[in-house]
Amino acid sequence: MASYNRVILVGNLTRDIELRHTPGGTAVTDAGLAVNDRRKSQSGEWVEEVTFVDVVMWGRTAEVASEYLGKGSPVLIEGRLKLDTWETDGQKKSKLRVVCERMQMLGGRSDSGGGGGYNSGASNHSSSNSSNDYQAPPGNREAQPTGGSGYDDPNIPF
């Protein structure tokens, strides 16, 4: 039987990042993420529901997060679920966490989260423009429709 373990979350950090290192020198950090959900109740009122998620980041991702992110920073986390189990005073305990494999900082430069992003192995393009004045890096083009009904009109300028 096949299985698939992928999580994508967008939320705000619940505390400042505290960077630690394993005895082998690998950077690691535990972060808390608050993910908000807004829905209408049966009575028609809007209800806010917050889910708190524990996230662990490793390596360069942990280092970047500790350098640029703080409490309240908006961030996108992509990773996988992992169940950690341990025993304390004879009692078995467990905790479900997200192991971060990709982290994207959200918000503009004026936000606490900074304006960039980090993905292991990916190059970042820095810009002196604010997030509202974003321009695609050289070589990147805006997405263009590719076929389907209605796209063969010669008056459409693309």
Instruction: Give the Cα separation of 93 and 105 in Å (integer).
Output: 32
Residue 21 structure tokens: 């290192």
pLDDT in tens, 27-41: 999 999 999 998 888
Confidence of residue 17 (pLDDT cuts 50, 70, 90): very high
SS (H, E, C) the chain: CCCCCCEEEEEEECCCCCCEECCCCCEEEEEEEEEEEEEECCCCCEEEEEEEEEEEEEHHHHHHHHHHCCCCCEEEEEEEEEEEEEEECCEEEEEEEEEEEEEEECCCCCCCCCCCCECCCCCCCCCCCCHHHCCCCCCCCCCCCCCCCCCCCCCCCC
Domain made up of 7-118: CATH architecture: Beta Barrel (2.40)
Confidence of residue 111 (pLDDT cuts 50, 70, 90): very low
Confidence of residue 120 (pLDDT cuts 50, 70, 90): very low
Give percent of the chain above pLDDT 70.
Answer: 68
CA dist list (Å): 69 to 37, 41, 120, 158: 22, 34, 17, 40
Average pLDDT over residues 132-150: 46
Average pLDDT over residues 11-26: 94
Confidence of residue 132 (pLDDT cuts 50, 70, 90): very low
Rg (CA), the chain: 20
* Structure confidence at residue 12 (pLDDT): 95
Q: What pTM was estimated for this model as a whole?
A: 0.64
pLDDT in tens, 61-106: 999 999 999 999 999 999 999 999 999 999 999 999 999 999 999 9
Q: Is 13:73 a contact under the CB 8 Å cutoff?
A: yes
Q: Is 93:65 a contact under the CB 8 Å cutoff?
A: no
